[in-house]
Amino acid sequence: MATKHRGLLERLDRAIAWIEAFILAAGVLLLAALSISNTLSRNLMGTTIPGTFEVTEILMVWITFGGLAYGVRRARHICMNAVYDQLRGLARKGLLVLTHISTAALLFFMAWHAGHYVWDVHESGRTSTALGIPMGYAYVIVPVGLFAGGVQYALSAWKNLTHRELYRSFSEREQYEESEEDPARSARL
């Protein structure tokens, strides 16, 4: 029975990863197409495409927050490793788990407040100026992306608590390239 649930969870995780990748790819491609079209329109016809600035801003929000969980899932987030790299063993794992739990808690807290903000914007009926896009829909990705990022950090912390190896994310094991230039570092690892 546990294997059946694990298979279902793995398929769900793959589906969510695909959705995240689709949001990123579609957003970047649409942003590029819109920017190129607007530039060509401005240079060839002397006029810009109405609403380009608004759509560009909304796409940047969707790319940023839609890609947050994807970055965490692939361990492509920014890391400050000065202290972490000096630690070994349980201290290293403890710091990794602490930072992942703290980051998850912060992202959940931010998702909660962002959700309230988006709901208030939706209830106010606020729309974009040129195209009349409901801003509640434009911003809905913010709490969703923050929450999904928090889930990824929480999963990573859980994985580190239940496995001997170190994991930078739920699916990415920690790996350092050994350098011939620093034999002392290689010996410590």
pLDDT along the chain (189 residues), means of 10: 66 84 92 95 92 93 92 83 82 91 97 98 94 94 95 91 87 64 49
Pick the closest to residue 153 from 91, 71, 87, 57 (CA basis): 71
To the nearest 10°, report the CA torsion of 66, 71, 74, 78.
-170
The pLDDT of residue 175: 76
Bridge partners of 127, per DSSP, are: 134
Write down the pLDDT at residue 1: 52
Mark residue 132 as left, alpha or beta (left: phi above 0; alpha: psi -120 to 50; beta: remaining). left
The strand ranges marked E within 13-75 are: none
pTM of the model: 0.82
Burial 70-108 (b: 16+ CB within 10 A, else e): bbbbbbeeeeeeeeeeeeeeeebbeebbebbbebbeebb
Nearest to 145, CA basis, from 29, 56, 62: 62
- The per-residue pLDDT for 38 is 94
Instruction: Please tell me the predicted confidence (pLDDT) of residue 6.
Output: 65
CB 34 within 8 A of CB 63: no
- Nearest residue to 65 via CA among 133, 7, 149: 149
Read off the DSSP letter of residue 85.
Answer: G
